[in-house]
Amino acid sequence: MITLLDYGAGNVRSIINAFIHIGERIKVARGPEDIMSAEILVFPGVGAFGSMIDALKKKGFFDSLREYIFKDRPFLGICLGLQALFEKSEESPEVPGLCIFRGIVRRFRCDLSIPHMGWNGLSQRKGSRIFNGLRGVEKFYFVHSYHVDPVDSDIILTTTDYGYPFVSAIEKGNIIAVQFHPEKSGKAGLRILENFLSIAKPRQWIFKDRNTRFAKRIIACLDVRSNDEGDLVVTKGDRYDVREEGRVRNLGKPVSLARRYYQHGADEITFLNITGFRQFPLRDMPMLEVLKLTSENVFVPLTIGGGIQDYTDRDGRYYSALEVASEYFRSGADKVSIGTDAVKIAQDFLKKGGATGKSSIETISKVYGRQAVVVSIDPRRVYVSSGRESRYRLIETHIPGPDGERFCYYQCTVKGGREGRELDAITLAKICEELGAGEILLNCIDRDGTRLGYDIELIEAVKSEVRIPIIASSGAGRVEHFLEVFEKTDVEAALAAGIFHRNEVPIEKVKEYLKGKIEIRIE
């Protein structure tokens, strides 16, 4: 029986599901006594270092966890569960860690996008049972802005390259801790969990010493809403219009499509509840159910968007965006995506001349970490006649407007493109980054569903202004479009919907085509 330490800050459902999937029984530690009586303890940390340590102390876990680990009892730490073992973190310098190992947790200092979010390899420094049965080509899912820097190099199990080599796993006696998320790393990650439990397995040297390479991600997006019969379906718009002959297009069921994409090698799945802005999303229980069911069998990151904002219900009860997001995380989401509310927040920011500390972006990223907050932008191209004087960020375009205009900006919209706002996409992205967003999902209404390829000008313009990862979205029609967006821009991920749903270009075909041209994850 595995005991899981849950201090209440994130998606522990995934790790529970992963262990259940490999046939293990798991119980959640309710108090310090459960830690001391554990046969095997798993600590999947998420969020920010300081709030994690505070939560461990408040719940009475801190001292028993130290005692358990000092006794060299079987332990697996994941992500912050690795970082917690060290003396302190640059993320919260005033908060001491568990001090099991000497060393500190440092913020990445490199020119690449931070967080380090996506699939990367491992390079072993010593043999370990946890790599038994792997081939050495596998990649694992990372999502973090800080990494450990141990004083004692003997504990280092693997390093990974991101700007420079950083320590991505440690092992000492019965203590193993990894920076990546095995529960989100597909079949290879499940194998690591199995190996961790097989104490008797021989030590293997699979990931030979070498530089690791960060992969570009291919993301499948499922726009979900109720159809005219009231069933929750995956739909797909043409420039955001999801109706055909007056009826909502039905392209399949969310859970089974997500499973199919996982099997086909999707690096991530995104669900967008596209009518979520209309009603209180927590009343929309089917979306929570979709997440719960999906996370039982899909072991790559799951993002959910739609309706994430503060809300007061008919009885006057107020729900914060943080509460809404928490419910999604508890149901299996790894990230939440904020659309309409992000535009409102950015407009308030400009009006008031700064942050309030109260917005959904700030409150959710403070508790769950910035990597858990995606901002979904729904921009529409607006042409202007001259490149001079504008309150919007203009782009000189190679695709002239109807009257030969050579300049345009990308207007932000809300409510699924139904209403435009006086704000451009570049300004929105920059403000959201400043407020704590960890990633931008960059759609484009003009390209959505057209199969004409991604809007490279839009993507380049936004990418050059922010440091957080960008997911290019809207317009993929052929495998070549994925290559184009990765060659012409520095985006970290490309998302598509229609071509996957209609099976016109399956994910395997995209990966087959990109293999050898672009670094990608191959299972």
We find the least distance from the C-beta atom of residue 276 to ligand 1PR, in angstroms, to be: 4
- What type of residue is 413? T
416 sits near ligand 1PR (criterion: CB under 6 A) = yes
Longest dimension (CA), the chain: 75
Contact 219, 471 (CB under 8 A): yes
Q: Is 168 helix (H, G, I), strand (E, B) or coil?
A: strand
Instruction: Report the distance separating Cα 374 and Cα 338, nearest Å.
Output: 6
Q: Which stretch binds ligand 1PR (CB under 6 A): 88-96, 105-113, 172-180, 474-482?
A: 474-482
Q: Nearest 5°: CA angle at 354, between 490 and 426?
A: 25
By CB under 6 A, the count of residues binding ligand 1PR is 32
Contact 216, 236 (CB under 8 A): no
Instruction: Report the distance separating Cα 424 and Cα 412, nearest Å.
Output: 5
Q: Is 144 a catalytic residue?
A: no
Nearer to ligand 1PR, 280 or 383 (CB): 280
Q: Judged by CB under 6 A, which of 77, 103, 118, 237 binds ligand 1PR?
A: 237
Contact 484, 454 (CB under 8 A): yes
Contact letters (x/-) for ligand 1PR, 380-399, by CB under 6 A? --------------------
Crossing angle for the helix pair 425-435 and 340-352, to the nearest 10 degrees: 80
- What type of residue is 40? I
Q: Is 378 a catalytic residue?
A: yes
Q: Which stretch binds ligand 1PR (CB under 6 A): 141-149, 248-256, 319-327, 469-477?
A: 469-477
Name the closest residue to ligand 1PR (Cβ).
416
The residue annotated as part of the active site, out of 327, 378, 424, 492, is 378
Q: Which stretch binds ligand 1PR (CB under 6 A): 99-107, 142-150, 299-307, 505-513?
A: 299-307
Task: List the one residue out of 6, 87, 10, 76 whose CA is nearest residue 47.
Answer: 10
Nearer to ligand 1PR, 437 or 496 (CB): 496
Nearer to ligand 1PR, 6 or 378 (CB): 378
Q: DSSP string spanning 57-110?
A: HHTT-HHHHHHHHHTT--EEEEEHHHHTTSSEETTSTTS----SSSEEEEE--S
Q: Is 411 helix (H, G, I), strand (E, B) or coil?
A: strand
240 sits near ligand 1PR (criterion: CB under 6 A) = yes
The residue annotated as part of the active site, out of 181, 264, 481, 501, is 181
Contact 99, 89 (CB under 8 A): no
Contact letters (x/-) for ligand 1PR, 249-288, by CB under 6 A? -----------------------x-x-xx-----------
We find the least distance from the C-beta atom of residue 274 to ligand 1PR, in angstroms, to be: 4
Contact 271, 222 (CB under 8 A): yes
Give me 168's structure tokens. Answer: 């991505």
We find the least distance from the C-beta atom of residue 350 to ligand 1PR, in angstroms, to be: 19
Instruction: Report the distance separating Cα 140 and Cα 156, nearest Å.
Output: 17
**Paired residues of 59 in beta bridges:** none
The residue annotated as part of the active site, out of 223, 284, 455, 492, is 223
Q: Which stretch binds ligand 1PR (CB under 6 A): 55-63, 181-189, 234-242, 392-400?
A: 234-242
- What type of residue is 509? K
Instruction: Report the distance separating Cα 183 and Cα 189, nearest Å.
Output: 6
**Paired residues of 233 in beta bridges:** 225
Contact letters (x/-) for ligand 1PR, 302-341, by CB under 6 A? ---xxxx----------------------------xxxxx
Q: Is 79 a catalytic residue?
A: yes
We find the least distance from the C-beta atom of residue 383 to ligand 1PR, in angstroms, to be: 21
359 sits near ligand 1PR (criterion: CB under 6 A) = no
Nearer to ligand 1PR, 68 or 240 (CB): 240
Q: Is 501 a catalytic residue?
A: no
Q: Judged by CB under 6 A, which of 395, 474, 485, 491 binds ligand 1PR?
A: 474
Q: Judged by CB under 6 A, which of 221, 459, 471, 472 binds ligand 1PR?
A: 221
Evaluate the CA torsion angle 315, 321, 327, 331 in order and state its sign: positive
Read off φ and ψ for residue 344, nearest 5 degrees: -65, -40
379 sits near ligand 1PR (criterion: CB under 6 A) = no
498 sits near ligand 1PR (criterion: CB under 6 A) = yes
Instruction: Report the distance separating Cα 81 and Cα 46, nearest Å.
Output: 8
CA 53: distance to chain centroid?
A: 23
Residues contributing to the site for ligand 1PR (CB under 6 A): 221, 223, 236-237, 240, 242, 272, 274, 276-277, 305-308, 337-341, 376, 378, 416, 443, 448-449, 473-476, 496-498
Q: Which residues are catalytic?
A: 79, 181, 183, 223, 378
